[in-house]
Amino acid sequence: MTELFRTKPTEYSRHDYLRLDMNEAVTGLPPDFVKRTLAAIDGRFLATYPEYRGLQAKIARHNDLLPEHILVSNGSDGAIKYIFDAYVAPGDQVLLTDPTFAMYAVYCRMFEAQPLWVEYRPDFSFPWEEFIARLVAGVRLAVVVNPNNPTGSAMPAAQLIKLIEHAARGRILLLIDEAYFYYCPETAIQAAKTYQNVIVLRTFSKLCGMAALRLGYAAACPHVIEVLRKVRPTFDVNGVAAFFGERLLDEPQVIQELIQNVMDGKDFLVKKLAEAGIPHRVGDANFVLINCRDQVNNIVKGLAEAKILVSAGFKNDFLKDYVRVTVGHLKDMEHFWQVFVKIYALRG
């Protein structure tokens, strides 16, 4: 078997930290919502194999699609593996951007596929011409994360449709990963009604605060959904995750509250960075990139000593001077700023 490189989990608990390093929902779901939802779960529920029809129907309604356009998954990671299981064979070419979500490269190695890399531009924009030039017959699967992590870049919906149509002419399956959709509602999900060659992925792990539950879904035409269903383990989405997903979709005001909390926190942080004259990039996802020049490691270490985790160490030259800060509730960002600005002044 091909040797795989995987990043090891942290050897310490992150629960004692302000977690601004993995783009989770920093504060999480409202306590009253969690309490009400858990109160509805009893031993009889836990003893029963999960059912997905209700969740599938509510996800479809949430996105103005039909239930047959939706397949629930064990996080969006699970859906990615379904796609590779169903469509990618050894030697197949998979078109990817650099950077992108790390699991795409991992699955290429696992399935012995050939990754074709197109690097984001130094101005953080999507490499449109270069990507289109590589999107030709012979490519089995092409992947676009929109908005992208860690660049934060997003393409408008009209441009995504052009990409889908170009891929269709070459009979190429196009995967559009919309993990950060709620922060930038430029989406291609309605293309599932019309195009046979597109799969859109979503997750409940980011805005929706369910990273611990592992819940996501794929949206595509009914034929593709049926193909993916055949390779999915029978009950790989646990029933508690499915139940939480249903309850959240029953209360759209909770989703709107979560969105507003992130936007308030983001506005605060961006304003403070601008006032202090600290170079940064905002992007369209739930994080801000702060340019710390050659002091990235020192600043990350200083924040960790203050029990705040951020992400850094990006290999692309145009990203290496940045730390990525997940945006949370206004109170979380006020605390981060108070600590960060002191460390930046001392070490930056």
Residue (of 212, 198, 132) closest to 166 by Cα position: 132
Which residues are paired to 94 by β-bridges? 115, 141
Helix (H) or strand (E) holding 22: none
Q: How many domains does the chain have?
A: 2
Summarize pLDDT for 46-84 with one digit per residue, the tens.
999 999 999 999 999 999 999 999 999 999 999 999 999
Residue 181 lies in a domain: yes
Looking at the fold, whether 207 and 316 belong to one and the same domain comes out as no
Looking at the fold, whether 49 and 148 belong to one and the same domain comes out as yes
Which residues are paired to 98 by β-bridges? 119
Looking at the fold, whether 218 and 321 belong to one and the same domain comes out as no
Query: pTM of whole model > 0.75?
Result: yes
Using the 3D structure, point to which of 225, 250, 275 is the last residue of a domain: 250
The reported pLDDT for the residue numbered 211 is 96
Average pLDDT score over residue span 262-282: 97
Sign of the CA dihedral 91, 93, 98, 100? negative
Q: Dihedrals φ, ψ of 41, to 5°? A: -100, 125
Residue pair 99/151 in contact by the 8 Å Cβ criterion: yes
The reported pLDDT for the residue numbered 347 is 64
Residue 7 lies in a domain: no
Summarize pLDDT for 130-176 with one digit per residue, the tens.
999 999 999 999 999 999 999 999 999 999 999 999 999 999 999 99
Looking at the fold, whether 77 and 183 belong to one and the same domain comes out as yes
Using the 3D structure, point to which of 250, 272, 288 is the last residue of a domain: 250
Residue 329 lies in a domain: yes
DSSP state of 194: T
At a CB cut-off of 8 Å and minimum separation 6, what does 298 contact? 347
Residue (of 36, 45, 44) closest to 239 by Cα position: 45
Looking at the fold, whether 294 and 200 belong to one and the same domain comes out as no
The reported pLDDT for the residue numbered 14 is 80
Q: Which domain holds residue 340?
A: 18-27+253-347
Residue (of 81, 59, 85) closest to 70 by Cα position: 59
Residue 343 lies in a domain: yes
Looking at the fold, whether 148 and 181 belong to one and the same domain comes out as yes
Residue pair 180/284 in contact by the 8 Å Cβ criterion: yes
Looking at the fold, whether 215 and 261 belong to one and the same domain comes out as no
Residue pair 96/117 in contact by the 8 Å Cβ criterion: yes
For residue 177, what is the domain's CATH number?
3.40.640.10
Q: Is the peptide bond before 30 cis (omega within 30 degrees of 0)?
A: no
For residue 305, what is the domain's CATH number?
3.90.1150.10
Residue 265 lies in a domain: yes
Residue 33 lies in a domain: no
Nearest-angstrom CA–CA distance, 282 and 298? 22
At a CB cut-off of 8 Å and minimum separation 6, what does 199 contact? 79, 83, 173, 174, 175, 176, 218, 219, 220, 224, 228
Looking at the fold, whether 222 and 275 belong to one and the same domain comes out as no
pLDDT higher for 16 or 114?
Answer: 114
Looking at the fold, whether 95 and 108 belong to one and the same domain comes out as yes
pLDDT band, residue 345 (cuts 50/70/90) = confident
Average pLDDT score over residue span 256-284: 97
**Neighbour tally for 89: CB within 10 Å:** 10
The reported pLDDT for the residue numbered 7 is 66
Looking at the fold, whether 235 and 259 belong to one and the same domain comes out as no
Length of the chain: 348
For residue 277, is pLDDT > 70?
yes
Structure tokens at 61: 């309604």
Summarize pLDDT for 97-114 with one digit per residue, the tens.
999 999 999 999 999 999
Using the 3D structure, point to which of 250, 276, 296 is the last residue of a domain: 250
Average pLDDT score, the chain: 95
Nearest-angstrom CA–CA distance, 274 and 281? 10
Looking at the fold, whether 267 and 222 belong to one and the same domain comes out as no
Residue 302 lies in a domain: yes
Residue 10 lies in a domain: no
For residue 11, is pLDDT > 80?
no
Looking at the fold, whether 165 and 73 belong to one and the same domain comes out as yes
